[in-house]
Structure 1
């Protein structure tokens, strides 16, 4: 049976009047009528908006129509993903996790000892932070590949911010207490963002800003290692992190004498580490070479210092370790007084930076192995492990890219590799710390320098320059702020430029004049398609942004400027004036009251010029608000069309066929 309902559809004739399909001449094209969205209740609209803003998925969907016992299992699996994937765990997977865990442990132990120096805490605290947090993450995290522990950037940031409040040498107890307090609030911040599904907030720190910040932090970290690399007495070294202060301190310390034995140690093993890194990069199958190179460096250098007593000749060594396993530190956290506020502020900053790094790492390796990582669940896991870590003598831990890459290359299957690493760290703290006592500080400096070189991503910076110059400004602003001032200054510059870019793009949206592509019913930007032809008597403008209070006035004025310029060009060439202004609204995702007022003002201004305002293809959200405001009644319901083509055929069918 043929579909006769089509003949009953109403069309718009050239005068905007309704006509049936059976009465329409054959040479008049079919004009689609714009659909008016149904009214939504206030509660339903609010619920839809909140759900779309805070989550792309309904977290309660899995629990619908499930018995109570099943709901309990699902709740536990949501909190502890290990209960879900653990059911299919087998000996084959464990073999891969065991090898990966042992490999990353050999990398993390020397790195943790070195990173603790960046945080200005005793060496054992770095190892503590690679014991408890990874265990908790293994049970609560959703990434199979991410390795948890201290990282260079967060260690430096935390050490710098806390040192501004207390001196780590003369006020050791207060300094350590503030470290634990900041770690506690870093965890609270991360868990809160995840629990309330506010993970989108960390996206305000753009990729370009992060690239610049990480590169600047890498150079700052490397400069800080010159103290250990050259054997400079800490009393003769600066507490500032900017490049000018550091280089001044380095050259001034030359008068007091650098330690040549230390320089030989540091240079030799740095060369060894860089060669190992080069081998691993050129031959991926030899990934284990750069992974175990730091541990080999520590073993060889420690043995050499022990048998030669080089520490008696001025070679600085790590010194004694506390053999205790993560002593409780809950009573050391500030829960009152002005130090509570200090710890809270520092914790928020450190927590967000740690979160940004971890989420990026988790997403990267998840895409490589084609599985999903729940960002909000990750935040809760990271937050929980740092809260518990602050109570067990740990400082802020997060995902490490270098260790995660080694974990991935070593064939890890699940987060059990983190558990294996934690056990190895535990055994190291309990039984091997007496041997670490003689490890030269210069070797730790070499390990850190070799590790942070990878944070300087020149290729990414070049690509940013090619793609977006404003992004490059954000990248370089963050980089220069860190290198020439301080880590926190660079971070503030990165955030400020990122927000400035957002405001610029929102307040100055792109607009374009459209023309008809020859022999097609398609209208495109005449700047992008030179062959596009303008329709005589019609100006077609596209707005490439939502219309809000921040940009509504600019959008209105920009359209009027387009119109004025076009009319001046037409008069100069003795062509007919503009009769219709068509606004293509497909890219307009939303509009507020200020935007609607701007359209109303645009309509009034156009009336004075004898130009009719036409809207084409507004989305459901925009159309719903336009009807709620009564705007269609102001311009006439027959002035809103499904496509630009429909609007052209209705406004000026003769001219449309001539183009």
Structure 2
């Protein structure tokens, strides 16, 4: 029954189409040609309001407060700032069991990593433990991710240490104060981005640049660990690969310690082997406990053999006790204030980028939404609080988050469990790390950063976008041959260069008609698409702004000149109509309008008429406001390319 009705309706529609005077003259079927419409005019204040709302409040964060009682608004406000009060309502013992096991698992991973990562920042090991006690607690109450595990990470630790040593000697008593100052302003930066809803700014650092930067940082971090792995006493403070390798080989004859090498290489092999086993989900715990196992075994070995007296470098004493207050240590004035702000902004943005990327990855895997602005506020708050309690910059750790996910975490309670374990370690167990060899800490760091080198992603960049590959390699080589900050600068510069190139030199294409259809497509992508005699169809694949309007106008004229020359050589009809397909043009400014005005003045000299096909509502509104529609002719602004060809194509002119 439904099929018969559908057939009858189709027959009637086809009959009307064929009888329409504006249908295709070659027997093709097209619907009636409609006049291109423009949206109702909006006053300037409404336009600004809508643009502002869409840019900064597209998620309508205040929408759920509407028509609520004062008490309900208070509860909703509390839940907005502290998401734990929202998801905590449905928390139960079953979820806690999963979170407890996951929390213990990531704690066993984080403790040795914290001690090792603090050394990357040129800080005492205790500050790594301090950071993994306070920061996860704050995040657990304010963060919106269920899976992310918070603490010090290798890349941020290296970046912070590198930037700090550029400003002040690491042996200076003010070094620690500058680290706290940088952490404070890293948190302020993250908080400001969250409150002002400017999180989209971190998107300007492209994925390709991040891949290259992370890989370069991983190589640099691994090379830096050769000091601990080989037992070298005198080692360069530079991070570039040339300085590091020169330092390694210059000390080969007298500076290496074979006992240290034996310990370091043995446990590095064990850690890498454990990582391979841990790739299978049911054996994830092997990789998780491997670092702590390495620390326990190596510490016991050094203690019973007293290898520390034979040249094996050890951690030595780590103070017991929880975080002391450090608010008075922060530079709020003086010569180091500017340095603290600069370092804080840079390290804060990198930490934020890493945390958001990790959070989004696991949110997608579990199919829930991550609130980016809440994340920024949570990360900023925890770093501000951390700077006041002897912590340095913390963020989400990919290795710990992956273990957290595979261990079956349900909520951010895993961070609370991990924090409590770190607290117990600070209060009871820190003296046990006295004989931990630095070679094992170096092995732990190397094993951890190996995963930051994503070869598959780099190969994919080469296959998909050569410019992205160049950005990736630029960041990578900048880090390993110069410094972390130079590599970061190159990554940002190349990311912006790509944006500028795409904005100033947008793609244009000549369109042809696909045989047997009324569809017009790029003739390079579809070789069977044929151009229409006497007509050139050009598509502009970008908004038209001051930055590209002149280029687009000149590119269209070059298309026209080249195509006209080809057709004249082939004794074909010269081009009489230029159709500009405007579907991809999302916006146009006054420079774009001016470029089309110049086209309208130039084309009649070539005896060519300009037609526009399917301009969008914003574009159409601006065309009308500028009276460009009158200059072009309202009858020459059509709904589609097919309509334009049907209206202005000659019966005698067949496809080329």
TM-score, normalised by the number of residues in structure 2: 0.95
Contact 2:533–2:654 under 8 Å retained in 1: no
1:121-520 equivalences in 2 (<5 Å): 121-169=123-171, 171=172, 173-233=173-233, 236-281=234-279, 283-520=280-517
State the partner residue of 2:10.
Answer: none
Contact 1:138–1:418 under 8 Å retained in 2: yes
Distance change in 2, residues 1:604/1:295 (3 Å): same
**Separation in structure 2 between the aligned mates of residue 630 and residue 622 of structure 1, nearest angstrom:** 12
State the partner residue of 2:7.
Answer: none
Q: In the TM superposition, what is the alpha-carbon distance from 1:572 to its structure 2 partner? A: 0.7
1:609 aligns to 2:606 (yes or no): yes
**Separation in structure 2 between the aligned mates of residue 628 and residue 429 of structure 1, nearest angstrom:** 69
Distance change in 2, residues 1:520/1:80 (3 Å): same
Say which SS state the counterpart of residue 509 (structure 1) adopts.
Answer: coil
State the partner residue of 2:106.
Answer: 104
- Of 512, 523, 532, the residue aligned with 2:529 is 532
State the partner residue of 2:538.
Answer: 541
State the partner residue of 2:644.
Answer: 647
Distance change in 2, residues 1:543/1:555 (3 Å): same
**Separation in structure 1 between the aligned mates of residue 77 and residue 504 of structure 2, nearest angstrom:** 44
1:11-30 equivalences in 2 (<5 Å): 24=21, 30=32
Structure 2: tracts of 5 or more residues without a match: 1-17
**Separation in structure 1 between the aligned mates of residue 24 and residue 548 of structure 2, nearest angstrom:** 42
Q: In the TM superposition, what is the alpha-carbon distance from 1:489 to its structure 2 partner? A: 0.6
Cα deviation digits, residues 372-413 of structure 1 (max 9, x gap): 001111111101100110110000000000000000000000
TM-score, normalised by the number of residues in structure 1: 0.94
**Separation in structure 1 between the aligned mates of residue 605 and residue 326 of structure 2, nearest angstrom:** 74
**Separation in structure 2 between the aligned mates of residue 552 and residue 338 of structure 1, nearest angstrom:** 47
**Separation in structure 1 between the aligned mates of residue 230 and residue 23 of structure 2, nearest angstrom:** 89
Distance change in 2, residues 1:59/1:657 (3 Å): farther
Say which SS state the counterpart of residue 67 (structure 2) adopts.
Answer: coil
Q: In the TM superposition, what is the alpha-carbon distance from 1:338 to its structure 2 partner? A: 2.4
Q: In the TM superposition, what is the alpha-carbon distance from 1:238 to its structure 2 partner? A: 0.4
**Separation in structure 2 between the aligned mates of residue 615 and residue 462 of structure 1, nearest angstrom:** 41
**Separation in structure 1 between the aligned mates of residue 66 and residue 649 of structure 2, nearest angstrom:** 54
Q: In the TM superposition, what is the alpha-carbon distance from 1:164 to its structure 2 partner? A: 0.8
Cα deviation digits, residues 450-485 of structure 1 (max 9, x gap): 000000111110110010000000000000000011
Q: In the TM superposition, what is the alpha-carbon distance from 1:658 to its structure 2 partner? A: 6.3
**Separation in structure 1 between the aligned mates of residue 549 and residue 501 of structure 2, nearest angstrom:** 13
User: Relative to structure 2, which stretch is displaced further, 558-567 or 616-625?
Assistant: 616-625
**Separation in structure 1 between the aligned mates of residue 346 and residue 95 of structure 2, nearest angstrom:** 37
**Separation in structure 1 between the aligned mates of residue 447 and residue 149 of structure 2, nearest angstrom:** 19
**Separation in structure 1 between the aligned mates of residue 622 and residue 140 of structure 2, nearest angstrom:** 47
**Separation in structure 2 between the aligned mates of residue 52 and residue 589 of structure 1, nearest angstrom:** 15
Q: In the TM superposition, what is the alpha-carbon distance from 1:654 to its structure 2 partner? A: 2.2
Q: CA RMSD in A?
A: 1.4
- Number of residue-to-residue matches in the alignment: 634
Q: In the TM superposition, what is the alpha-carbon distance from 1:158 to its structure 2 partner? A: 0.2
Distance change in 2, residues 1:25/1:483 (3 Å): closer
State the partner residue of 1:629.
Answer: 626
Contact 1:582–1:615 under 8 Å retained in 2: yes
Say which SS state the counterpart of residue 386 (structure 1) adopts.
Answer: helix
**Separation in structure 2 between the aligned mates of residue 212 and residue 421 of structure 1, nearest angstrom:** 31
Q: In the TM superposition, what is the alpha-carbon distance from 1:520 to its structure 2 partner? A: 0.6
Say which SS state the counterpart of residue 58 (structure 2) adopts.
Answer: coil
Contact 1:649–1:656 under 8 Å retained in 2: no
Distance change in 2, residues 1:128/1:516 (3 Å): same
**Separation in structure 2 between the aligned mates of residue 653 and residue 133 of structure 1, nearest angstrom:** 73
Contact 1:536–1:655 under 8 Å retained in 2: no
State the partner residue of 2:579.
Answer: 582
Contact 1:297–1:443 under 8 Å retained in 2: yes
State the partner residue of 1:9.
Answer: none
1:597 aligns to 2:599 (yes or no): no
Distance change in 2, residues 1:25/1:212 (3 Å): closer
**Separation in structure 1 between the aligned mates of residue 487 and residue 595 of structure 2, nearest angstrom:** 39
Runs of 4+ in structure 1 deviating by more than 6 angstroms, as ranges, are 25-28, 656-659
**Separation in structure 2 between the aligned mates of residue 26 and residue 312 of structure 1, nearest angstrom:** 95
Cα deviation digits, residues 433-452 of structure 1 (max 9, x gap): 01011111111000000000
Contact 2:193–2:199 under 8 Å retained in 1: yes
1:37-52 equivalences in 2 (<5 Å): 37-52=39-54
Contact 1:648–1:656 under 8 Å retained in 2: no
State the partner residue of 2:14.
Answer: none
Cα deviation digits, residues 514-538 of structure 1 (max 9, x gap): 0111111110001111111111111
